[in-house]
Amino acid sequence: MKKVFEPIKLAGIVFPNRIIRSATYEGMSDKDGKPTEQLLKKYTALAKGGVGGIITGFIGVNQQGMSTGYYMSQINNAESAKGYKVITGKMHELGTPIIAQLNHCGGQTKEEATGMPAIAPSKIADYKAREMTKAEILEVIEAFVQGIKKAKEVGFDGVQIHMAHGYLLSEFVSPRMNRRTDEWGGSTENRFRIVKTIYEKARKEVGNYPIIVKMNGYETLKNGMTIEEAVKIAKLLEQAGCDGIEVSNGTVKAGLATMRGSVPWEMMVAQNKRLNKMPKFIKRLIGIAATKTFPQPQPKSLYNLDAASSIKQAVNIPVIVVGGITNLADIEDIINTEKCDAVSMSRPFIMESDLVNKFKAGKQTQSKCIQCNFCIIGSENGPLRCYYGKLPARLS
């Protein structure tokens, strides 16, 4: 147990312990993508609550890649940079490393949200997006490079490139989502080319600045990423100069594969203006249909550990595992048996920002999170918060 709470150097960054807050979309920026005081308070609570480090909710590298959710942050504009400089300064004052997660949402964007057509490596049935041109691929690469450069300038301890959950870079490396026949598709090496190029160009700008990656260890859909393919990609990441890997899984198309738990149909209905006006018995029927329609893969805990452990055995860079980690006993086992170098959690910290302090003090050994997933759906139309399976009065 002592090992979990000891300081550790990972990816060139010293963390006070091995329990990290995984990237969680907060929706706490203004309409122009500038982080707000609310986001600063959120991170301050996590830092004071004992987390070993914070990986921010995803930050957009350009307008076309912005999320359809509630007010996504941006990195490549002056006002956002000012806001993040305040945040990184506060985190360093509290002794908590903070890593900027950079993302382009690719085929999972919508034109009505970004004002621009959705783009993806290929045009497939998983989403409504057109295939990117080669020129657009180079533009995205440059956007990531500039985002990495800006993150370093404003004081982030490192960056995490989002290559998971069916967003753009995940779409490129996935054999299911990348059907290209040019140099950006086909073989594993070609599908990985966009990430390799980002690393090559970024290193010329930021030197040995820590750049880690969040990747899918597998995909639950047909023809998706397998653990064997993920191991191959992890090796390519190490060769490209990646400083560490966080292992997750899933895409939006795969429903709850990424987060598991209950189907939050009450929140889904409440967030839809048309459905929310329907009679209660109709809503219940919708809930029954939603529960049967959305995939609910098992298990609900430690569902990325096998993939992460396989990757850990194949590379010499740090590996972090996320997904269904809710209790101290599992964390101790993962760390003490060296299955991974660190763990990260998302939903437990939405409910309890001070969970690590509770673990360390012996006050608690299990997160109080019930995996209702209301928080995930709720963040589409408002700031991130815990609902504990209950709709607020304004939505019920």
Please determine, for residue 2, whether its predicted confidence score (pLDDT) is greater than 70. no
Percent of the chain with pLDDT over 70: 98
Domain finish residue from 239, 271, 295? 295
DSSP structure class, residue 366: B
Q: What is the pTM of this model?
A: 0.96
Residue 145 is assigned to a structural domain of this protein:
yes
Answer yes or no: do 274 and 255 share one domain.
no
Q: For residue 272, name the pLDDT band (cuts at 50, 70, 90).
A: confident
Element (H, E) at 307: helix 305-314
Residue 59 is assigned to a structural domain of this protein:
yes
pLDDT tens profile 51-102: 999 999 999 999 999 987 778 888 988 889 999 999 999 999 999 999 999 9
**367 within 8 A of 332, measured Cβ to Cβ:** no
Residue 147 is assigned to a structural domain of this protein:
yes
Q: For residue 135, name the pLDDT band (cuts at 50, 70, 90).
A: very high
Answer yes or no: do 330 and 279 share one domain.
no
167 closest CA partner among 228, 115, 207, 213: 213
**331 within 8 A of 350, measured Cβ to Cβ:** no
- Give the E-state strand segments of the chain in sequence order: 8-10, 13-15, 19-21, 53-55, 59-60, 73-74, 98-103, 119-120, 130-131, 158-163, 211-216, 245-248, 319-322, 342-345
Residue 304 is assigned to a structural domain of this protein:
yes
Residue 357 is assigned to a structural domain of this protein:
yes
Q: Which two tokens stand for residue 263?
A: 């189907």
216 closest CA partner among 263, 269, 178, 261: 178
Q: For residue 396, name the pLDDT band (cuts at 50, 70, 90).
A: low
Please determine, for residue 12, whether its predicted confidence score (pLDDT) is greater than 90. yes
Q: For residue 268, name the pLDDT band (cuts at 50, 70, 90).
A: confident
Domain finish residue from 270, 295, 320? 295
Answer yes or no: do 152 and 274 share one domain.
no
Answer yes or no: do 247 and 108 share one domain.
yes
Q: For residue 381, name the pLDDT band (cuts at 50, 70, 90).
A: confident
Residue 105 is assigned to a structural domain of this protein:
yes
Number of domains in the chain: 2
**121 within 8 A of 78, measured Cβ to Cβ:** no
Q: What pLDDT score does 158 carry? A: 98
Q: What pLDDT score does 295 carry? A: 65
Q: What pLDDT score does 296 carry? A: 73
User: Is residue 183 classed as helix, strand or coil in its secondary structure?
Assistant: coil
Q: What pLDDT score does 278 carry? A: 82
Answer yes or no: do 249 and 279 share one domain.
no
Mean pLDDT along residues 378-396: 86
Answer yes or no: do 24 and 124 share one domain.
yes
Which range has the top average pLDDT, 37-46, 111-120, 380-389? Answer: 37-46
Residue 200 is assigned to a structural domain of this protein:
yes
pLDDT tens profile 103-113: 999 999 988 88
Q: What pLDDT score does 155 carry? A: 98
Answer yes or no: do 282 and 191 share one domain.
no
Q: Which two tokens stand for residue 181?
A: 């026949």
Answer yes or no: do 283 and 227 share one domain.
no
| Host domain of residue 80 | 8-261+297-378
Please determine, for residue 114, whether its predicted confidence score (pLDDT) is greater than 70. yes
pLDDT tens profile 136-182: 999 999 999 999 999 999 999 999 999 999 999 999 999 999 999 99
Answer yes or no: do 61 and 207 share one domain.
yes
Whole-number average pLDDT of the chain: 94
Q: For residue 286, name the pLDDT band (cuts at 50, 70, 90).
A: confident
Do the strands 319-322 and 342-345 form a parallel or antiparallel pair, or are they unpaired? parallel
Q: Which two tokens stand for residue 235?
A: 């090796």
pLDDT tens profile 196-232: 999 999 999 999 999 999 999 999 889 999 999 999 9
Please determine, for residue 1, whether its predicted confidence score (pLDDT) is greater than 60. no
